[in-house]
Structure 1
């Protein structure tokens, strides 16, 4: 079976996900995490990839990014994964593949979905039971997006910028949005997570019918279309309530 093509266009925000082979640990300690992030930031600058959000877990990572040039995401990910494999194998005296497979990507045009992805990515450590809140976890972009910790490597997404007139109001609005997942928006958030997990294994598109048709014309195999993640999540939550 031939390998499926990646979406190679530019200017489309993408949720990128990858993990270790057989779910093995790929970040043993903070030295490993620092090495990976150094490579990620360096290659993002090299290929002109705007990084909006990210998190490192023990055996996988998530990033939210927008490429400026066609084909840049694939080159970027290949460079990051190759360099980190060489580093990891050398440091931990091992050989062979480190990664499970080709990275997963989901494409988004929807403004609300972008913020859902911000929250989904940065709350990974909380869902995994590693910490009680995102502020307690060092290896994510939450500290920049919600706490205004300076980072020249993070580019606010245009839809994130709509949260407020300045960086302080935006950060406050985003903190409130994340906090909602623990109380008033908890059921909605849990439903969003459930829907996102079902799409993680395949190429999915979130956006208008026109957006979906445009991308479908550029990819040689079927892709899943979701017009509004929020609608799907609401349906999922309603079904759960009926059980």
Structure 2
């Protein structure tokens, strides 16, 4: 069965997942997490990309990155992040070899319908994995910074977040309530399926729009009901 091609669409946010080689741990000590985030901050600025959400799990990374007009920017970002982390850990542990799977996964996101749901999905990963009881308890995701519990001056704020309410405090509260909903959203399965297969996070209308933009046929599917933080 042919491998689904990775699609990058300028002007849209993208959900990205990079897994450790054979799903082995990539982040073990605090230094590992801190080094990756320092490089993410550096290279997102070099390539003029916006990062809306992130979560560093022990054996994989989730990012939500807005693609600019340079379609090579995200591939270069991921290459730099993977390469630096590999050299860093190999030098510390006096080892050699690959740290990551060969190919990261990426899914363009229908901004209005699914961006906040995708950020929620990313930031709830540690909760779903049973590592913490709440998203704010996990140090290595963007959630605590988004709701003002920790500083992260380089985390970007999407328009859909700003549209939640008239002032920042109300936006934070609206987003907090959205993330803390007890049940899975109907969009969660669509997000999971899309990133696992390098497809689009959106319904048929979004698929049609992207097909026209990039001139590549993308397999359609039944749209899930989008979840909104509004």
> Which structure has the higher relative contact order (CA within 8 Å, separation 6+)?
2
| Alignment partner of 1:104 is 2:105 | yes
CA distance 1:160–1:227, shift in 2 (3 Å): farther
1:1-243 equivalences in 2 (<5 Å): 6-71=6-71, 72-147=73-148, 149-180=150-181, 182=182, 186=183, 188-189=184-185, 191-207=186-202, 209=204, 211-216=206-211, 218=214, 223-225=218-220, 228-230=223-225
CA distance in 1 between partners of 2:117 and 2:142 (Å)? 14
SS in 2 for 1:206: coil
* 1:237 matched residue in structure 2: none
Is there any run of 5+ residues in structure 2 with no aligned partner, and where? none
CA distance 1:105–1:96, shift in 2 (3 Å): same
SS in 2 for 1:14: strand
Kindly report the root-mean-square deviation, in angstroms, between the aligned alpha carbons of the 2 structures: 2.4
| TM-score of the superposed pair, with normalisation by structure 2 | 0.88
CA distance in 2 between partners of 1:197 and 1:23 (Å)? 17
CA distance in 1 between partners of 2:43 and 2:50 (Å)? 11
User: Shift of residue 167 of structure 1?
Assistant: 1.2
| TM-score of the superposed pair, with normalisation by structure 1 | 0.83
CA distance in 1 between partners of 2:49 and 2:121 (Å)? 20
- Work out the number of aligned pairs and report it: 225
Larger helix fraction of residues: 1
SS in 2 for 1:147: coil
SS in 2 for 1:15: strand
Consecutive aligned runs of 4 or more in structure 1 exceeding 6 Å deviation: 1-4
